[in-house]
Amino acid sequence: MMSKSEFRNKAIADRERQSSEEVELKSQKIFEKLTSLDCIRKARSIMTYIDFRNEVQTRQLIDYCLSNDKNVVIPISVFKGRQLIPSLLKDPDSELQISKYGLLEPKPEYVRVFDKEKLDVIIVPGVAFDKYGYRVGYGAGFYDRFLSSIDNGAVVSVGVAFELQLHDSVPHDAFDATVDMVVTEDRIIKICNKG
């Protein structure tokens, strides 16, 4: 079996081979599946990443949430300590800038720290997922730490991925957090009874 880093590198290469048209079309299908979920429709506060490097696109979900009076919360990556700080986003067109790590994050004056215990849904990116809810991320453990730190048992974590990122099994460790469901352009896989 491949090591986690070999698996990660192959999965990133597979994802990067998709054309921008494929990414856009598949992301649209994923968005439609997401907005069919009760947990999304009923949520007051949804945390989502902002896509980067051929990830599943999230702008449509952000716009949907804002137009339906939902709180949109985005992660700020703090590399010292490898933590995610949730921040409320009100206007994606004016409040964001590219961080030194190449990620879109709030400008300092628009950082509004949001209580992670008040999140209803967390949209989780990943390089690869499996049908048991395990994921392979970029290797820094930000989401594993964040998901494990939430005490609110009602929050639903939703991994979003292209079908080519979904595997029967991915390499994982005991401390890796799982997601409650995985949504691809072709299907919704519920790992537990949440959502």
Query: How does the average pLDDT of the chain come out, rounded?
Result: 94
pLDDT in tens, 86-100: 999 999 999 999 988
Annotated binding residue 15: no
Annotated binding residue 114: no
pTM of the model: 0.95
Annotated binding residue 6: yes
Annotated binding residue 59: no
Annotated binding residue 133: no
Structural domains in the chain, sorted by start = 4-190 (3.40.50.10420)
pLDDT in tens, 52-97: 989 999 999 999 999 999 999 999 999 888 899 999 999 999 999 9
Annotated binding residue 95: no
pLDDT for the residue 160: 98
Annotated binding residue 195: no
Annotated binding residue 170: no
Q: Is the pLDDT of residue 194 over 80?
A: no
Annotated binding residue 139: yes
Percent of the chain with pLDDT over 90: 82
In one letter, which amino acid is 180?
Answer: D
